[in-house]
Structure 1
Amino acid sequence: AIAAVEEWVRQNPEPNACDREALIALVTQCLDVGVPPSSIPLRQALVHHHALLEGEEKLAKLREYIRLERQKQGLDLDEPETEDAADAGDEEEPEEQDFSEEQREAERVAVAAALLGKNLLLLGGVPKQKVCDVLQDQLGCSARWLRTSKTDKAAKFEADIRKADYVVVVKNLVSHDICDKAREWTKETGRHCVVLRSGYGAVQIVHHLYEYLLGRDP
């Protein structure tokens, strides 16, 4: 997906003469398939075309990372940092993790073999249905994402956690109680709990599931 954006930029070097909607469609597709807004190749590809993304609320986070990239390259040095940009900078290190297409496919195949026909439950923050759709399509499992906050108690989700074959917990977006109890309850039921420490797009989720399965592989 990133390669398509890079190719489009190469073919359209002058931002003022570009088809804005075409670029937005390509960038949105990248995010929908799990490319994180902090992706270095993505933001570097868009560093001179950032203005075309203005006004698109769903691309706000990506625009902040592009702005940081422009500053890193010596551009926009006089532009004041916004609160959102500061937050993006704080998240930059854990979010940055790019994989080759070959690695992504190898990990997807391995995870799909384990999750085929299984129930996958995701906990943390605001549910992302598009990510669930991608996971279901790529892994052959059912995927459900429940809205949670850092103040929620685990008991609220106990029944869902106990029924799921695999539980993925977005660590930074849930309470310690949920994280601890999810591990405890899945251990009791003989199921699986994966703690997602960074990134929560489809690519990152598959990668964490892959790493988890590797750890369990004798």
Structure 2
Amino acid sequence: MTYALVKICGISSPATLAACIAARAEWVGFNFFPPSPRFLTSAAAAGLAGRAQGAIRKAGVFVDAEDAFLAEAVHAGRLDAIQLHGHESPERVAQVRQRFGLPVWKVLSVSGPDDIAHAAAYAGAADFLLFDAKTPKGQLPGGMGLAFDWSLLSAYRGPLAWGLAGGLTPANVAEAIRLTGAGLVDTSSGVESAPGLKDVDKIAAFCKAARHA
């Protein structure tokens, strides 16, 4: 039996990290985008990374970051993957991949079929694609609790492994997996009690629902 991997994004405390490990999530996300309420400093990331090491994999979330910023965060967070959530071109994604020697995930913001089709441009540049809901102009690029039309992915057969993000909660994640066939599901605000404040019970419920989809 195969099931979708789970990533809980925006982890910022030892307690919520422990909850992710206890719930058997495969990934946590450390958010290195300063405007986000889930932003982690390098020092905070280093502390969490020490607790996570060997127990769960860590992806760093970045938005149009420069190499020096990436380097500091990759080192502090002992990252297993780099997730690019900005306007990074295929060329930039390939550059980051070569520079840091880590798997690179590219987030694609989706509002219609053309956004799904754009995924083909990242073949050979990214290691993994994450389809997320497109947020309104001027808003944060993710973590807003917005979903897109999952049926857009029902027939998607791209060259890269991919996952689903955007508006996923314990109540709808099983349906999302069934409709899309996503190999990974990623949630942030869907397991929070307030922006940036993860709820350990919701983390447990999300992981259980995804596992039983």
TM-score, normalization by structure 2: 0.31
- Looking at secondary structure, tell me which structure has more helix per residue: 1
- Looking at secondary structure, tell me which structure has more strand per residue: 2
TM-score, normalization by structure 1: 0.31
Indicate the structure (1 or 2) with the bigger Cα radius of gyration.
1
